[in-house]
Structure 1
Amino acid sequence: MKPVLKSLDCAEIVQNLAAYRPPEPDNFMLYLALSVGADDGDAADLFYLSVCTPKWLSAHHRGTLFAKAWLIVECYDFQEIKQAIQKLLNSINGDNWHEIAGKLNRYTDWEFEDYRP
């Protein structure tokens, strides 16, 4: 079983992310919501990822920073960001959805992280 990117959204961006251009492509941060599901179905869970540049990071965080759920890019390039996410998804597999989601959660914030029924 493999994970599949069903959609990629950003609450701050009302237009299509592929068409979006930040005012400063080398100085931005976006909080992305990745809708990811198994390759054998339509269902999906949300995984969150902050994408920023070193310039933005330097201006907003001093000292030490834990970096789970962050993707650092040189400048805004939607295709490069999407390809990086796709490369991550391609590197993950599992026998069931819970195993896949747990592996993806190492790099993102899963909506069901720490959930106990």
Structure 2
Amino acid sequence: MASRRPVRAKIRNFFIAGNSSDNRNPWAIAPEAADDFSIVVELEISANGRTEAGCYRVIVTTPKYLAHEVAEEGSRFGRRYLLVTQWDWSAIMELLRDEIESIADATWQDVHDRLRRVTMWEYEDFGIHAQP
């Protein structure tokens, strides 16, 4: 019996959440301080060879920003964060692409489950399953 090719995650698009004017163009924004920011990056991810995509989010932030937050709030959970030292959209995009597109498994559901370890799926708490 021939083995099937693994299903691999493929990023179709990146954009910055909440930036209504240019959210499809991340190069059009820059934080006030390159070493002190937190943004939510939305990723449209699909299975290799498929056009349908789901929306996943990751918080890109700096240690300096988190230090301020922890000082104000006393604590902070850290799941689904990408920590970077400074704003460099090209480098952030490359890090996300390398991590996400390295995820492969036997089925889309398996890939989706692995994606949810590093991202938040748009239907995270709705109790439904991902479609490829």
Give yes or no for TM over 0.5.
yes
What is the 5 A alignment of 1:1-117? Answer: 1-13=7-19, 14-15=21-22, 16-62=25-71, 63-114=74-125, 115-116=127-128
Whichever structure has more helix as a proportion of its residues is 2
Rg larger in 1 or in 2? 2
Contact in 1 for aligned 2:69/2:76 (Cα 8 Å): no
Q: How many residues align?
A: 117
Shift of 1:22: 1.2
- Name the % identity: 26
Unaligned runs of 5+ in 2: 1-6
- 1: CA distance, partners of 2:16 / 2:70: 22
Q: Alpha carbon RMSD of aligned pairs, Å?
A: 1.6
Unaligned runs of 5+ in 1: none
- 2: CA distance, partners of 1:69 / 1:44: 19
What is the SS of the residue equivalent to 1:47?
Answer: strand
Moved over 4 A (4+): none
- 1: CA distance, partners of 2:95 / 2:44: 15
Q: Aligned partner of 1:61: which letter? A: V
Shift of 1:64: 4.0
Normalising by structure 2, report the TM-score: 0.80
